[in-house]
Amino acid sequence: MKILVVEDEPLLAMLLEESLADLGHESVTSAATVDQALAVLDSNPIDCALLDFSLGRDTTSAPVARRLQEQGTPFYYLSGHASLEDTDETPDAPLLVKPVSLDALKNALSAMGRTTRAA
């Protein structure tokens, strides 16, 4: 699976990439900002994504989530909080609470893989 990871904290992005590699996923592209993530989506087909919900003070990954939703690409939000602020601008998606365990990551990837194959 080709996976997009959107995470603004470099250490967390690296840990996610390592965890994905441990699970056998070597085709991982990372982006730290909304603009970088949208550029990746414009130039590379992906199968699924993991989106840090909060990308800095006043920025969320909602624009990336909307693009993924338009493309029919499955994604999970990542957050240090057990729930996200519910806004009309934020597409619904499952949430993984950080720190994400390897088992939770594996289950999320499995679920997104099933969604990708069903499309």
Q: Kindly list the structural domains of the chain, giving each domain's residue range(s) and its CATH number in brackets, ordered by start.
A: 3-118 (3.40.50.2300)
> Per residue in 74-98, pLDDT tens?
999 999 877 776 556 677 789 999 9
Q: What is 37-78 written as a DSSP string? A: HHHHHHHS--SEEEEESB-SSS-BSHHHHHHHHHHT--EEEE
pLDDT value of residue 71:
95
75 strand-pairing partners: 49
For residue 56, the model assigns a pLDDT of 86
Residue 21 is predicted with a pLDDT of 94
Q: Name the phi and psi angles at 12, rounded to 5.
A: -65, -40
Asked whether the whole model's pTM tops 0.85, one would answer yes
CA distances from 51 to 29, 45 (A): 12, 16
